[in-house]
Amino acid sequence: MKNKLKLTFVRPNFEGMSEYCPPHMGIAVLYGYLVNKYKDFIDFSFIDALPNKLNEEQIIEKLNILRPEIICITVKTFQVEQTICIIEKIKKSLNTIIICGGNHVSIEPDLFINNGADFSIIGSGEIALGNLITIIINKLFNLNLKLYFSNNILANKNSCYYNDVYNLKFEKKFDSNFVGEKPNWDIMDIDLYNENIHINKDIKALPVMASRGCPYKCDFCSSFITWGTYVKYRDPEDVLDEIEYNINKYKIRDYHFYDDNLMLNRKWLINFLDKIKERNINFNWICLSRPEIIYKNRDLLLDMKKCNCKGFELGFETENDDLYNNMNKKIQS
Ligand code: B12
Ligand code: SF4
C-alpha cells in the first residue's frame, strides 16, 4: 500500500469580523464525515486563515510545507477574491487536486473551475466530497472502494463540476433526507476561537446545528441555494448527545444554534424542550429566528427560558416599508 494521502482544508481570511473568530462548522462536519471513512488512507489537516489573519502568501507557505495531494477550500461570498488568488498561487507551486465548496461555490461553481480548481461541489458537501475522495483513492491506490450510492454515482445528491483527469460530471440534485454529519472539532484547536452567545463574550460557546434548510426564499438570502427549501431535522436526542459529548470533552456549556430557523417546526421544538428537561442537561443556548415565528410560538417562550435559551438572533433587513414588503419574506402573522 502507498503512503497515506494528505488532505488539507483551507478557510481563506476575510475582513469585518474585528476580534470575533468563530470555528468553522462546515469544516468540522466534513472532517467528521471523512475521518470515519478514510482515516486509513488520508491524513487530514486544516489551515484556518481567520484566527491568525493569514494572507494568501502565508497560506501558500504553509501549504508548501504540508504538500498535500488534495486541497479543499471553503468559500463564502466574502472570500471569493482570496480564494481565486490562492488557487492561482497553488497552481504555480504545487501539483495537487483542488476542490472548492461552500456557499459561494453553490452559487457560481464554474467560477472556481475556470480559475483553476479541479472540482466545485455544491450544496451540502459530505456525501459528494466522500464520493469524490473514494474515486480519487480508488484510482491512486488501485482499490475498489464502494461509493455511498453504490449503484450509480449520478445518484449523488450534489453536483461536482469537473475538468479532465477523472472525467466526471454529476447531476445537480438536493438530498432530501441527508440531515448532515455531526461536527468533529478535533480538526481544529478549539482554544483559538471565541464563538459566544452574546451574553458574556469571554465565555466560549460552540456552534451546533439541528436542522438544515429554510422554506422561505427571501430575495437577499442564499440559504435555499445551499440547503434547498425542504427542511431536514435531526433527532433531538442526537443533538443532545452531541452537546453532552462537547460539554464533557471541552467543558463548554454555551451553544450557538446555526440553524436558519430553529423554531420553525413547533412539534420538533416541543420535543426538543421535553428531552432537555428529561435528560436534565444544563447548557445555555441561543438560536436564529424570525419575529413572527417567535410570536406564533410565544406560549413556548417560558419553557424555552426554563431550558436555558438565552435569546434569539434576528436580522434587521431594512427600515423601508416598501422595500420590506417587496423582499419576498412571506410573512404571515
Ligand atoms: C453562523 C453564521 C455566521 C456567523 C459566523 C460565520 C462563520 N462561522 O464563519 C457570523 C455571525 C459571523 C456571520 C456573519 C456573516 N454572515 Co453568516 N451565517 C452563519 C450561518 C447561520 C451558519 C454557517 C454555518 O456554519 N453553517 C453550517 C455549516 C455546516 O455549513 P457550511 O459551512 O455552509 O458547510 C457546508 C456546505 O456549504 C459545504 N461546504 C462548505 N465548505 C466546503 C468546502 C468543500 C471543499 C466542500 C466540498 C464543501 C464545503 O459542505 C458543508 C457541510 O455540508 C449561515 C447560514 C447557514 N445556515 O448556513 C450564514 C451565512 C453563511 N452568512 C451569510 C452572510 C451573508 C453573512 C454576513 C456577510 C452578513 C452581513 N451582512 O454582515 C456576515 C459576514 C461577516 C463578514 N466578515 O463579512 C450568508 C453567506 C452567503 C454567501 N453567499 O456566502 C449565509 C449563508 C446566510 C444566508 N442564508 O445568506 N455568519
Ligand atoms: S427566513 Fe432567513 S434563512 Fe430563510 S430565506 Fe429568509 S433570510 Fe434566508
Check which CATH number belongs to the domain holding 224 and give it.
Answer: 3.30.750.210
* Same domain for 73 and 221: no
Question: What value does the mean pLDDT take over residues 4-32?
Answer: 95
Statement: residue 152 has pLDDT above 80: no
Statement: residue 33 has pLDDT above 50: yes
Ligand nearest to the CA of 79: 1
> Residue whose CA is closest, atom 3 of ligand 2?
260
* Same domain for 76 and 31: yes
Question: Can you spell out the DSSP letters for 158-222?
Answer: S-EEE-GGG---------SS---PPP-GGGS-GGG-----SS-TTS-EEEE-SEE--S---TT--
Give the mutation target among 103, 260, 263, 292 for probing the ligand 2 site: most ligand atoms within 8 A of CB: 260
Ligand 2: nearest atom to the Cα of 221: 8
For residue 66, tell me if it sits in a domain: yes
| pLDDT at res. 150 | 32
| pLDDT at res. 304 | 98
Ligand 2: nearest atom to the Cα of 216: 5
For residue 187, tell me if it sits in a domain: no
Q: What CA–CA distance (Å, rounded) separates 328 from 190?
A: 38
Question: What value does the mean pLDDT take over residues 9-32?
Answer: 95
| pLDDT at res. 1 | 54
> Pairing mode, if any, of strands 284-288 and 309-313?
parallel
Question: What value does the mean pLDDT take over residues 250-266?
Answer: 97
Ligand 2: nearest atom to the Cα of 220: 7
* Same domain for 201 and 109: no
For residue 267, tell me if it sits in a domain: yes
The CA 22 to ligand 2 mean position distance, Å, reads: 21
Contacts of 268-275 spanning 24+ positions with Cβ under 8 A: 268/210, 268/211, 268/233, 268/236, 269/297, 269/300, 270/300, 271/236, 272/210, 272/236, 272/239, 273/300, 273/303, 273/304, 273/307, 275/236, 275/237, 275/240
Q: Name the pLDDT band for 323 (thresholds 50, 70, 90).
A: confident
Among 188, 224, 223, smallest CA distance to 206 is for: 188
The CA 142 to ligand 1 mean position distance, Å, reads: 37
* Same domain for 160 and 214: no
Q: What's the Cα-to-Cα distance from 197 to each of 205, 228, 243, 295, rounded to whole Å? A: 7, 27, 15, 21
Question: What value does the mean pLDDT take over residues 242-261?
Answer: 98
Contact 156, 131 (CB under 8 A): yes
| pLDDT at res. 265 | 96
For residue 177, tell me if it sits in a domain: no
Better-predicted residue by pLDDT, 312 or 125: 312
**pLDDT, tens digit (0-9, with 9 covering 90-100), for 13-23:** 999 888 999 99
**What percent of the chain clears pLDDT 70, i.e. is strictly above it?**
88
Q: Name the pLDDT band for 119 (thresholds 50, 70, 90).
A: confident
Q: What is the total count of domains within the chain?
A: 2
The CA 326 to ligand 2 mean position distance, Å, reads: 14
Residues having CB closer than 6 A to ligand 2 are 214, 216-218, 221, 223, 260-261, 290
Q: Name the pLDDT band for 171 (thresholds 50, 70, 90).
A: low
Among 237, 270, 272, 240, smallest CA distance to 255 is for: 240
* Same domain for 203 and 157: no
C-alpha cell at 249: 470533552
Burial class (CB in 10 A: 0-12, 13-18, 19+), 227: buried
Q: What's the Cα-to-Cα distance from 63 to each of 9, 52, 95, rounded to whole Å? A: 10, 15, 11
> For residue 235, what are the domain limits?
195-325
For residue 188, tell me if it sits in a domain: no
| pLDDT at res. 170 | 58
* Same domain for 33 and 154: yes
**Residue length, the chain?**
333
For residue 330, tell me if it sits in a domain: no
Better-predicted residue by pLDDT, 71 or 143: 71
| pLDDT at res. 161 | 47
* Same domain for 149 and 213: no
Question: What value does the mean pLDDT take over residues 17-33?
Answer: 95
* Same domain for 273 and 217: yes
* Same domain for 214 and 78: no
> Residue whose CA is closest, atom 44 of ligand 1?
101
For residue 181, tell me if it sits in a domain: no
For residue 58, tell me if it sits in a domain: yes
C-alpha cell at 206: 460552540
* Same domain for 73 and 222: no
* Same domain for 229 and 290: yes
In three-state form (DSSP H/G/I as H, E/B as E, the rest C), the secondary structure along 47-77 is EEHHHHCCCHHHHHHHHHHHCCCEEEEECCH
Question: What value does the mean pLDDT take over residues 118-127?
Answer: 84
C-alpha cell at 49: 486563515
Q: Which of 29-33, 214-218, 250-254 has the lowest mean pLDDT?
A: 214-218
CATH number at residue 129: 3.40.50.280
* Same domain for 243 and 150: no
